Amino acid sequence: MNCNRIGSKGTVPLKVVAISGCAPQVSAETVALLEQLLEEARAGTVTGLAVAVLRSKGNYDLRLRGSATESGNHMSVTGMLAALQKMVLELAD
């Protein structure tokens, strides 16, 4: 695999070796959704996020950003999270 480096006149070979001996699992579905949301945010149609992120080691992050943090949107965000909880609970069915 080759990598173009900023300020370099040529390409430099790059060898990536996983330290654990096992490469991390990449979810194409997750990447596609994030790319779609990024495009929508850049277009101005996504103005805030309430995000729950599951990490590869089982830990998680919870984040509120943008208009999701504004006081006029608290009930909307609460409703979104309740709907998300319902979706997760229905996965077991």
Q: What is the pLDDT of residues 40-58, one digit of tens each?
A: 999 999 999 999 999 999 9
Q: What angle do CA 65, 60, 18 make, to 5 degrees?
A: 115
Confidence at residue 16, expressed as pLDDT on a 0 to 100 scale: 58
The residues with which 63 forms a beta bridge, in sequence order, are 51
Helical H segments across the chain, by residue range: 28-43, 74-91
Q: Select from 36, 37, 39, 66 the least CA-distant residue to 50.
A: 66
For residue 83, give its domain range: 2-91
Instruction: Give the 3-state secondary structure percentages of the chain, helix then strand then coil, rounded to 5.
Output: 45, 20, 35
Total domain count, the chain: 1
**pTM of the predicted structure, to 2 decimals:** 0.69
Confidence at residue 72, expressed as pLDDT on a 0 to 100 scale: 96
